[in-house]
Amino acid sequence: MFSKRLIELASLIPTHSTVVDVGCDHALLDIYLTINRHCKCTASDISENCLEKAKLNLKKFKLEKEIPLVLSDGLNNVEYNNSDYIVIAGMGTETILKILENCTADNIIVQTNTDIFDFRETITDNFIIENEKVVYDKKVFYVLMKLKRGKKKYNYSDYLIGPVIKKQKTGVYKKYKEYLFDKYSEIYNNLKNTSFSIEKMNKRLEIKAYLNMIKRYSK
């Protein structure tokens, strides 16, 4: 019931924290945090159907009175000012950035499903990437991030690979870099095999620089 990704997400949150889970789906993270990390959670989702399924899960674990369910588009209907952490996991970059646009919370746990380069580049205007984890679950790589409000200088390798991930050389981190290298190699080769244009040439140069960065931090 509790996936590897979910358990690793939970590990980024200290015990006894107050947590708002945005886009809670079936509230499994909230259940896990409540039982195993003694957190006080609020589970919110834009979908009434998801919240109905979450309600059944809470009933199954006898946590109906422990975890409030809130119907909300992002943080619009959620009181989060006294929460230690906001969790937004399993959405796209555009959606997550929109949710965080007017958010005043200091500590965020995030897992984006799309455009992780763009996410890092944008979010670091207001947040420091305090920690990152790579999880390989059901044949998919997931990057989990712990963000803290603040300012810090980052560079292209931080946006591309991750400021924490790029320093890790073994295990799943090594495999993730291999995955990134293969992904950008395929993009580079596809561009190479198309008709010439200045735009495509510049894109190839950009991708080549990415490949060199990944190589550098894979040694």
Say if 10 falls within a structural domain. yes
Mean pLDDT of the chain: 96
pLDDT tens digits along 47-100: 999 999 999 999 999 999 999 999 999 999 999 999 999 999 999 999 999 999
User: How does residue 219 score in pLDDT terms, banded at 50, 70 and 90?
Assistant: confident
Final residue before a domain boundary, out of 127, 158, 189: 158
Are 130 and 180 found together in one domain? no
Question: Who has greater pLDDT, 50 or 194?
Answer: 50
pLDDT at 151 over 90: yes
Per-residue pLDDT, 180: 97
**Least confident interval from 13-22, 29-38, 155-164, 184-193:** 184-193
Closest listed residue to residue 88, CA positions, set 101, 77, 99: 99
Q: Find the mean pLDDT for residues 28-44.
A: 98
- Number of domains, the chain: 2
Dihedral of the CA atoms 47, 38, 100, 119 (nearest 10)? -100
Give residue 193's domain range. Answer: 172-216
Final residue before a domain boundary, out of 115, 131, 158: 158
The secondary structure of the chain, three-state, reads: CCCHHHHHHHHCCCCCCEEEEECCCCCHHHHHHHHHCCCEEEEEECCHHHHHHHHHHHHHCCCCCCCCEEECCCCCCCCCCCCCEEEEEEECHHHHHHHHCCCCCCEEEEEECCCHHHHHHHHCCCEEEEEEEEEEECCEEEEEEEEEECCCCCCHHHHHCCCCHHHCCCHHHHHHHHHHHHHHHHHHHHHHCCCCCHHHHHHHHHHHHHHHHHHHCCC
- b or e along 27-43 (b: 16 or more beta carbons within 10 Å of the residue's beta carbon)? bbbbbbbbeebebbbbb
Are 118 and 184 found together in one domain? no
Say if 163 falls within a structural domain. no
Per-residue pLDDT, 16: 98
Per-residue pLDDT, 196: 79
pLDDT at 160 over 90: yes
pLDDT at 118 over 90: yes
Per-residue pLDDT, 163: 98
Q: What is the pTM of this model?
A: 0.94
Per-residue pLDDT, 1: 85
Say if 166 falls within a structural domain. no
Helices 28-36 + 4-11 axis angle, to 10: 50
Are 105 and 207 found together in one domain? no
pLDDT at 193 over 90: no
